[in-house]
Amino acid sequence: MSLQLRFWRNDLLPKVDAVFGLSATLLMTDPRWDLCESIKSIATLEHRSSWLDADGERDKYTDTALKTLYTNWSKVEVTQKQTLLIPIFIRRNECTIVDGKPAMEKYRDRLVMVPASLKLRDVDRTGERSDRENMLDGLKKITQTQRMVLARWLAWTPWLCTRDWQKTGRHSKDWWDGFTLTDTKTYARGRKLVGVLKEIKKEGGKPIIFASYVFLLQFAAKVCHLSGISDM
């Protein structure tokens, strides 16, 4: 490996204009050797001397700097090592042009926002608000902040409390077994989600659901599956 790198750096590297390293993972053996030697193999010392790191500082990619990093590896914070890679990664987005063409399609321009607002009467017609309040009142030793978060989750399905997701479901892959489309429609938000997904499926669309919490992600995934969306 050392002989190959030496031949590459001394004979081949000075003759090329640009180098692109493609790898599933950069660090495969000794991380400090891989990092330092890989960086040195991307460009000649002359080019690397002009590079700026993620903080806009010079002289972070020279042979001397990389030798110092190698020697003091255990004393350098992980984030400092990682920031060395940021400026030399190939990063592509919808604004990137390669050979005069966009590197990727502007998918966000294709997104269609589906209105799915709820009316208060949709929530009150089954008395779910009082049911949710009673379940939250039955929870012991929770702070006001915890109650607020749990209330957000509970607004989608009573399973959160009746099946005690906090204790028995958070780390169980089987917790959602038995959850049916009928369970999804227990509360107004679930009914609305099912209705929206069915409309999207009928129109041949592919939904994207954003959720901030693991519980809501799992709920959405389960509802998509039950609605036949995941089979599209």
DSSP assignment of 45-102, as one string? HHHHTT---TTS-SSSSSHHHHHHHHHTGGGS-HHHHHHHHGGGS----TT-EETTEE
Q: Based on the domain organization, do 154 and 209 belong to the same domain? A: yes
Q: What is the mean pLDDT of residues 16-34?
A: 66
Distance (Å, rounded) from C-alpha 115 to C-alpha 20? 44
- 213: which residues sit within 8 A by CB, 6+ positions away? 149, 152, 153
Is the residue at 113 inside a domain? no
Read off the pLDDT of residues 48-83 as tens digits, 9 standing for 90 and up: 898 888 888 889 999 999 999 999 999 998 888 888
- Residue owning tokens 């679930």: 190
pLDDT over 50 at 232, yes or no: no
Q: Based on the domain organization, do 139 and 76 belong to the same domain? A: no
Both tokens assigned to 216: 């809501």
Q: Based on the domain organization, do 125 and 217 belong to the same domain? A: yes
Q: How confident is the model at residue 130, as a pLDDT?
A: 93
Q: Based on the domain organization, do 143 and 221 belong to the same domain? A: yes
Q: Give residue 21's domain range.
A: 2-88
Q: Based on the domain organization, do 126 and 66 belong to the same domain? A: no
Q: Based on the domain organization, do 40 and 139 belong to the same domain? A: no
Is the residue at 137 inside a domain? yes
pLDDT over 80 at 201, yes or no: yes
Q: What percent of the chain has pLDDT over 90?
A: 37
Q: What is the mean pLDDT of residues 176-201?
A: 93
pTM of this structure: 0.58
What is the domain count for the chain?
2
Distance (Å, rounded) from C-alpha 145 to C-alpha 149? 6
Q: Which of 175, 201, 190 is nearest to 223 (CA)?
A: 190
Q: How confident is the model at residue 20, as a pLDDT?
A: 67
Q: What is the mean pLDDT of residues 159-164?
A: 94
Half-sphere exposure of 3 (CA within 13 A, CB side): 0
